[in-house]
Structure 1
Amino acid sequence: MASDAAFDHERYAALRGGGRIGARVHAVAVTTSTMDDARAGADRHGAEGCGDAYLAGEQTAGRGRFGRRWVAAPGAALLVTFQLCPTAGPHTPLLSAAGGLATAEAVEAACGLGVTLKWPNDVLAGGRKLAGILADARSPRGGRLEVFLGIGVNLYEAATAGLPPDERARATSIEGAGATPPDPEPLLAELSRALERRVEQIARDPSAFLEDWRVRLETIGRRVQLAAAGVDAGAAGVVEGVAAGVTESGELTLRLDDGSERSFAAGDVTTL
């Protein structure tokens, strides 16, 4: 991996200000996956790397939720993974939601584009996917938890060109939504600050975080189809119902046609 000389670290640092998350950025021009870079960096730096951001102008083997590929033309998307080191607890699963909420806030602050969220953390503009988040966790040393939060934001329409036709029809970019794409430095600075605020809020006042997240979720109150994943997949398969809310750990609660309610920790939601 070659260092990305195009990323202006001094400009970014001036825009970022203080804080731990995103204080140090490892930027490269091309990599296989920023998630893999972050894991390797965590192996090298240990606890000293907590909060580090791993940025790439292009990734050749990026991945999204449910094993989907995340592809983008060089420079067409903001591609970054953060190494987080939270204290494990009942609200740790909310870090994935924090990634989505922080990304939405960063996009709005950096370019003025209004966005919403689809449960749990897809960022939408005009009902089409603008950004995606992938969270992966491990406990490599002495029980210390590491959460790797991978975030991809489509800046230009070229970011969607390599998608299959059906996925491309559901995707957009900041450019495609009619706004001017920001440079990576101000967008990453906004993202780092927003993510730090939301991670701290989860630790300090998870109820307030949940309320802020609920307000952004366009999924709530709508009839949806959910393709269950993880531990729910075998028993549930595909379920339809009205999205009634989210639980304290971030699960989506569906009100089924028979009047019963069921909560799901993971799945792919389609609005009907």
Structure 2
Amino acid sequence: MPFDVERYQMLRRSTALGVRVRHRDVTESTMDDARAGASEGDLPGTAYVAAQQTAGRGREGRSWVSEPGAGLWVTYFLEVPPPGALVSIAAGLAVTDAIEATAGLECLLKWPNDVQHSGRKLCGILAEATTVGGDSDVMEVYLGIGINLRTPEGMPADVLAIATSIEQEGRPAPAREVLLAALSSALEVRLRTLASEPERILEDWKACLVTLGQRVRLSLPGGATVEGDAVDVEADGALVVEIDGERRAFRAGDVTQTRAVD
């Protein structure tokens, strides 16, 4: 079904985020669309949506399967005060809010930026941030969110083992217009809370973070791995891991992969 912008606007309750929406049936990447739109004068808060991405990407340049109609693929162009790293935390919470509101599905978060249900990935989040013209008080953030609505036929078994969708979890997939309207509203609320009460966002995040309390194996750039117990997160979102009695903090940019160890 084509994305109905008019229906989305009727459903939208956000006042700044997602007020303007750019939709394409097929694009290489909504992240690239957002960067191009910003360079051409689009205002912060604009949402870039596609029915299909041919070159969608996640962390570490990994490809993201974005088949037609199988999910909601959107990037928001934001201007926020630093630190931009916390935007992805607020986004993860907003995604769980929106999915619960539209599909009745309660999700958890895996550090640093995956939304999960039944231990499998239902949504990926990628935030890319830069300062605005050298102004350290403002950051441009391109916030990419991919929510799996349906599982395409013929998905490889190794992907099915680690990924899921709203339909696969036994719930009717909401229309993309409905989900995007809920997401824009939830994200606007979470970002406002982040600006005024960042400690509240961190507490809500910790309450949803399935990684805490797990034994984890972290893959680091260059191929090295470390293993320990995930015991806490710091104010900037770093994961605190206890390794042989010593606590070390790892930031998302320092880790290429996080896995729970049985």
TM-score range, shorter chain: over 0.9
In structure 2, the CA distance between the partners of 1:244 and 1:57, relative to structure 1 (3 Å rule), is same
2:224 corresponds in structure 1 to 237
CA contact (8 A) 1:100 1:120 kept: no
Q: State the partner residue of 2:6.
A: 10
Alpha-carbon deviation of 1:142? 4.7
What is the identity, as a one-letter code, of the residue corresponding to 1:149? L
Distance 1:151 1:161, change over 3 A: farther
**Unaligned residue ranges in structure 2 (runs of 5+):** none
Q: Measure how far apart 1:190 and its partner are.
A: 0.9
Question: Displacement, 1:199?
Answer: 1.0
State yes or no: 1:262 paired with 2:254: no
Pick the aligned partner of 2:64 from 67, 70, 76.
Answer: 70
Equivalent position amino acid for 1:271 in 2: A
- Where do 1:36-51 residues align within 5 Å? 36-45=32-41, 49-51=43-45
Q: Which runs of 5+ in 1 are unaligned?
A: none
In the TM superposition, what is the alpha-carbon distance from 1:139 to its structure 2 partner?
Answer: 2.9
Partner-residue secondary structure (3-state), 1:156: coil
- Residue 92 (structure 1) aligned with residue 92 (structure 2): no
Separation in structure 2 between the aligned mates of residue 36 and residue 72 of structure 1, nearest angstrom: 15
Secondary structure (helix, strand or coil) at the match of 1:93 reads helix
The residue correspondences of 1:127-142 to structure 2 (distance < 5 A) are 127-142=119-134
Identity over aligned pairs, percent: 49
Instruction: State the distance in 2 between where 1:99 and 1:66 align.
Output: 19
Which position in structure 2 is the counterpart of 1:207?
199
Match of 2:146 in 1: 152
Q: Indicate whether 1:185 and 2:177 are aligned.
A: yes
Q: What's the C-alpha RMSD, in Å, of the aligned pairs?
A: 1.7
**How many pairs were matched up?**
256
Range with bigger deviation, 99-108 or 247-256: 99-108
Alignment correspondent of 2:238? 251
Q: What is residue 198 of structure 1 aligned with on the other side?
A: 190
**Residue 51 of structure 1: SS of its match in structure 2?**
coil
Contact 1:136 1:147 in 2 (8 A): yes
1:180-209 residue CA offsets vs partner (Å, 9 max, x unmatched): 100001100111111111111111011111
Note the C-alpha offset of 1:269. 1.2
Q: TM-score, normalised by structure 1?
A: 0.89
Taking structure 2 as the reference length, what is the TM-score of the superposition?
0.93
Amino acid across the alignment from 2:185? R
Deviation digits for residues 230-251 of structure 1 (CA, Å, limit 9, x no counterpart)? xxx35x9311111111100000
Deviation at 1:140, TM superposition (A): 5.0
